[in-house]
């Protein structure tokens, strides 16, 4: 699995998850339970991971959705 987006924005995470579900792109969001440690202030970013096989497809989908600036530096 490879990280495609890292963000503190919960709305962005929800939007990306909706895009991926719509296109049947398997993904996982890591660090969602870090709010227990941080006191729910949102300082720890969430990481959205996709399989290596579909990394390029997922990147194109996010770019087409206008989220190119949100992609990890590796994907840009």
Query: What residue ranges do the domains of the chain occupy?
Result: 2-70
8 half-sphere exposure, CB direction, 13 A CA radius: 7
| pLDDT tens digits along 15-74 | 999 999 999 999 999 988 776 565 566 678 899 999 999 999 999 999 999 999 999 876
Architecture of domain 2-70: 2-Layer Sandwich (3.30)
Instruction: Spell out a b/e string for 46-62, using b for 16 or more CB atoms within 10 Å of the CB, else e.
Output: bbbbbeeebbeebbebb
pLDDT greater than 50 at residue 10: yes
Pairing of strands 27-30, 2-7: unpaired
The whole-model pTM stands at: 0.84
């Amino acid at each position: 699995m490879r990280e495609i987006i890292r963000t503190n924005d919960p709305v962005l995470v929800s939007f990306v998850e909706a895009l991926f579900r719509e296109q049947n792109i398997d993904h996982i969001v890591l660090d969602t339970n870090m709010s227990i440690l941080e006191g729910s202030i949102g300082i720890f970013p969430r990481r959205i991971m996709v399989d290596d096989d579909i990394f390029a497809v997922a990147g194109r989908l996010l770019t087409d959705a206008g989220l190119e600036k949100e992609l990890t530096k590796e994907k840009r």
